[in-house]
Amino acid sequence: MPSSIKVVAGNSNRPLAEAICAHLGIPLAKASVRRFADMEVFVEIQENVRGQDVFIIQSTSFPTNDHLMELLIITDALRRSSARRITAVIPYFGYARQDRRASGRTPISAKLVSNLITHAGVDRVLTLDLHAGQIQGFFDIPTDNLFGAPLMSRDIKERLDWKNAMVVSPDVGGVVRARALAKRIDASLAIVDKRRDRPGESEVMNIIGSVEGRSCILLDDIVDSGGTLCNAAEALLDQGAKEVYAYITHGVLSGGAVARIANSKLKELVITDSILPTEAVKVARNIRVISIASLMGEAIERTASESSVSSLFD
């Protein structure tokens, strides 16, 4: 590990930052990220970072705007403190679902956020399972999009009857992601064909593929309200599936999602700690969290030493 590396954490997911530092064998850099009385963000880097390779660990999760501003202001503080290179490590990239104009007179917010991060002074970005691959191209700086599939495939092989498993994409748009996991565990692939009438609601229409007697594994990048997953699990069981699991990278789980999943027919929902798990998530009977600290730590180590990051997934 190069001696010139520093890791700074915002307030979005400090436990993950500490776990990453433990993997790297270095202490978390001393920094204060706090609020003035009127809730303006104030940042003070409390140790020397001149000429250092600095990594900021900050998911732009709820409250999204607060955590985004923290990221931008930490970047400015580091830039003005003469850091040699600044890498924004964003395990969960907020606003990613606004990656195109779905209708007239709407923004492409993911591009706007990419511009803000770039112009704040970030030199490169490290993120995990972007909602849409083209968001990499929204940045005019090097951007590495890591994949959670290796962690998930390892967990599936350790815990499930994966030889009887079928990977299921909850929609047509997630087929590429689901196929990649299916290939890793040598499983078949099925697709849930659904029609979404309005944001936050979904109606399962049809299952493409025979799931009878199989252990189904729903795979997606984000679980928000949980409606899609719960409906898909019910549809799969109605089609004769033996049991249904879900592996999702980013557990947004807003509103009553945790209760909805706890009362659903899902045997287990597995999420990563890219977003700090709430107490409700920690005590939920059928939600389990796996850590991405080793994956992010290895990617940081390779970035610092100018080694290949993509070879992590070969």
- Tell me the Cα Rg of the chain: 20
Count of beta carbons in the 10 Å neighbourhood of residue 92: 30
Distance CA 1, CA 196 (A): 48
Residue 133, marked binder = no
Instruction: From 148, 181, 179, 185, select the one nearest 164 (Cα to Cα).
Output: 185
Distance CA 199, CA 129 (A): 21
Distance CA 132, CA 311 (A): 21
Residue 171, marked binder = yes
Residue 278, marked binder = no
Distance of CA 175 to the CA centre of its chain: 18
Residue 196, marked binder = yes
- Give the C-alpha distances (Å, rounded to integers) separating 188 from 113, 157, 194, 211: 37, 15, 20, 9
182 in Cβ contact with 153 (< 8 Å): no
Residue 297, marked binder = no
Residue 101, marked binder = no
Residue 98, marked binder = yes
308 token code pair: 């290949």
Residue 239, marked binder = no
Residue 224, marked binder = yes
Distance CA 14, CA 61 (A): 13
Q: Is 194 a catalytic residue?
A: yes
- Give the C-alpha distances (Å, rounded to integers) separating 276 from 106, 146, 195, 228: 30, 18, 31, 22
Residue 97, marked binder = yes
Residue 119, marked binder = no
Calculate ∠ Cα 147-4-140, nearest 5°: 45
Q: Which of 30, 111, 163, 194 is catalytic?
A: 194
Instruction: From 260, 180, 249, select the one nearest 225 (Cα to Cα).
Output: 260
Residue 1, marked binder = no
Name the DSSP letter for residue 265: S
Residue 38, marked binder = yes
Residue 129, marked binder = no
Residue ranges for the binding site for ATP? 38-40, 97-98
Residue ranges for the binding site for D-ribose 5-phosphate? 196, 220, 224-228
Enumerate the active-site residues: 194
Residue ranges for the binding site for Mg(2+)? 131, 171
Residue ranges for the binding site? 38-40, 97-98, 131, 171, 196, 220, 224-228
